Structure 1
Amino acid sequence: MPSVLKTQPWNVHRLPAAEGKRFLVTGGNAGIGYFVAEQLAGTGATVVLGSRDAAKAEAAIASIRSRVPGAKVQHLRLDLADLASLKTSVDALGPDRLDAVVYNAGVALDHPPRRETKDGHELMFATNHLGHFALTGWLAPLLVATPGSRIITTGSFAAKSERLDFDDLQNTHDYRPKRTYGRSKLAQMLFSFELDRRLRAAGSTTLSVVVHPGGALDSLTPSRPQVRVRTTGERLRGLPLGLLVQGKEAGAWPAVRAVLDPDVRGGHLWGPRVFGLRGRPGLAPIWDHLADTTTAARLWAASCDLTGVAPTFTPV
């Protein structure tokens, strides 16, 4: 069982070198995704920031380069809410290797009204789950061609108390933003575990891994002037919370470990060690409802229908 797997010590401040490798981080221009990209850039790898906003991506690239001399960072235009655009984005990556993709981008709405994409899908479910699901299908040939590649999906504690409603998968009725967000993250996590099962069945060496950042707050996050500045007031208000949770720089650690650590296996869940809320990244127990293979398979079929994409991984 993953929960009892023995792993080697991991130093978040001394990451293994990864020269020659290439990583894609969706939503790598801000928040936790930015810190995932910054930390991975320090390994010598080429890091591609997937972002629909070119100006924000360029600001993030400038910030990373100011902190990581010689950083190899690129921007890929990527709009997960626009399903028809994803193949074009993947084609722009070129035929080179892709050693890992970190599915970090996401939308979290706090208030009604319910919003839809131009494809007619609820915005959070479409961006957080359906976009990444379809992206997996288009990335599959590139990932399969890279031995030992990894697909890292960022989950959330918001999914822990939620369950999917297949009669209203996109929350058309009785829309509640927080519940809808939690369900979209649950869909992502169920997808990742189902993806791992399908990868194993196909004999693929690609791994599918789930991570979660714990409690990651802006008020505890160090400033990056080109990206976001933490005010003195925010820092002072966040100090007491630092006993329980952490900032987004630390929130990136589980994803970075999942990308780089040779001990990581497909089907793992990684998160902060201290009550799942803060601290160094470690292997976490998988919540019972995430192991529901029937629900996961049903979600996979529904996602194929909604996106028109059916991810397949046939070893070359």
Structure 2
Amino acid sequence: MYQLPDAADHVYLVTGGNTGIGYFTAEQLAGTGATVVLGSRRAERAEAAMNAIRARVPGARVRSAALDLADLGSLRRTTESLGVKRLDAVVHNAGVLLGGPEPRQTRDGNEMHFGTNHLGHFALTHWLLPLLEAAPSARVVTVGSFAAKSERIDLDDLQSRVGYRAKRTYSRSKLAQMYFGLELDRRLRAAGSTVSSVVVHPGGALDSLTPSRPPIHVRKTGAALRGAAAALVLQGKHAGARPAVRAVLDPRIAGGELWGPRIFGLRGRPRRERLWAQLKDAETARRLWQASTELTGVAPAATA
């Protein structure tokens, strides 16, 4: 079992740190003594999450920052509001999964899943890079999804205008994030940057297998019983957070790697995985990067 190190002098930002896997990522990172910033769209939810972390981690150093990934124009202000001289890691965890048959748009007119999950994190990285480069060896950790493994990027329809289906569009947006994390690392290496980029996924993480953290999450007895059989192949969100936590903390993990759960990619301790077949396609990653630059008006670039 990997032992969490002492990271008392480090600062980490977790997007979507107020709920789900993001919450457990923040809780586990807080246990290292680091300062953990929860990026959250709603202040009251961030406050509830911070209180829950403090109840579990005595002396936890947690605070929040207003973050709306669906509003590209706000992300520079979010970075400025952090009030830190350096950032040792950012965990790109936040994401939306919408229901309903009709697509919705971000403030900037992009399809909501692609615009929030991918473009928002793409643009946020641009603004965060100076803070990341001020740290000795910072990490960008991008949280993808196991559901993306069976998907492919349609470079001619990134906004899912043809045959929109919410779950498929979500999975493609997470795949786009994973392409971004790998392409970012290639560009950081080419620039000689000290920042590295790692891609992770949580496997199969269910609420019914997740321990209670009131009021963030309360597991009911009935749900726990119904999820008992699923525990043979899946896990809770507290376990789903472990690949991201490991990627932040373990200096032996190299940029450009993919990490996920050990058992069939669905549950268990984190391990390095072989890159999925589609993620080896550097040309698709390059073209997606170019399209993302055009859609956001920014291009994350190392200054080293």
Work out which of the residue numbers 105, 111, 124 in structure 1 matches 2:113.
124
| Equivalence for 1:89 | 78
| Equivalence for 1:4 | none
Does the 8 Å contact 1:62/1:226 carry over to 2?
Answer: no
Work out which of the residue numbers 147, 169, 176 in structure 1 matches 2:165.
176
Does the 8 Å contact 2:86/2:133 carry over to 1?
Answer: no
Note if 1:72 corresponds to 2:61: yes
Does the 8 Å contact 1:148/1:207 carry over to 2?
Answer: yes
| Equivalence for 2:140 | 151
Q: For residue 309 of structure 1, give the secondary structure of its aligned residue in structure 2.
A: coil
Q: How many pairs were matched up?
A: 304
C-alpha separation in 2, matches of 1:77 and 1:220: 29
How far has the Cα of 1:158 moved from its partner? 1.6
Does the 8 Å contact 2:86/2:131 carry over to 1?
Answer: yes
TM normalised by structure 1 equals: 0.95
| Equivalence for 2:175 | 186
Worse overlay, 90-99 or 296-305: 90-99
Note if 1:288 corresponds to 2:277: yes
Work out which of the residue numbers 178, 182, 185 in structure 2 matches 1:196.
185
Work out which of the residue numbers 185, 209, 213 in structure 1 matches 2:198.
209
How far has the Cα of 1:273 moved from its partner? 0.5
Note if 1:167 corresponds to 2:156: yes
C-alpha separation in 2, matches of 1:176 and 1:96: 42
Q: For residue 169 of structure 1, give the secondary structure of its aligned residue in structure 2.
A: coil
Does the 8 Å contact 2:143/2:201 carry over to 1?
Answer: yes
Q: CA-atom RMSD, angstroms?
A: 0.8
Q: For residue 150 of structure 2, give the secondary structure of its aligned residue in structure 1.
A: coil
C-alpha separation in 2, matches of 1:124 and 1:97: 29
Work out which of the residue numbers 36, 39, 42 in structure 2 matches 1:50.
39
Does the 8 Å contact 1:155/1:188 carry over to 2?
Answer: yes
Give CA deviations for 1:155-197 in whole Å, capped at 9, x if unaligned. 1112112111122110012111111111101100001100010
Does the 8 Å contact 2:185/2:197 carry over to 1?
Answer: yes
Work out which of the residue numbers 252, 271, 294 in structure 2 matches 1:263.
252
Give CA deviations for 1:238-296 in whole Å, capped at 9, x if unaligned. 01110110000000000000000111100010111011110111111111110111100
Does the 8 Å contact 2:142/2:177 carry over to 1?
Answer: yes
Overall identity of the aligned pairs, in %: 66
C-alpha separation in 2, matches of 1:267 and 1:85: 29
Moved over 3 A (4+): none
Code of the aligned partner of 1:30: T
Code of the aligned partner of 2:80: D
| Equivalence for 2:130 | 141
How far has the Cα of 1:110 moved from its partner? 3.2
C-alpha separation in 2, matches of 1:62 and 1:194: 36
TM normalised by structure 2 equals: 0.99
Does the 8 Å contact 2:145/2:174 carry over to 1?
Answer: yes
Work out which of the residue numbers 272, 278, 281 in structure 1 matches 2:267.
278
How far has the Cα of 1:226 moved from its partner? 2.2
Q: Are residues 21 and 248 of structure 1, via their aligned partners in 2, closer, same or farther at CA, if it must alter by over 3 Å? A: same
| Equivalence for 1:107 | 96
C-alpha separation in 1, matches of 2:4 and 2:300: 31
How far has the Cα of 1:52 moved from its partner? 0.7
C-alpha separation in 2, matches of 1:118 and 1:112: 20
| Equivalence for 2:9 | 20
Q: For residue 69 of structure 1, give the secondary structure of its aligned residue in structure 2.
A: coil
Does the 8 Å contact 1:23/1:45 carry over to 2?
Answer: yes
Note if 1:241 corresponds to 2:262: no
How far has the Cα of 1:124 moved from its partner? 0.4
Worse overlay, 160-169 or 147-156: 160-169
C-alpha separation in 1, matches of 2:18 and 2:290: 31
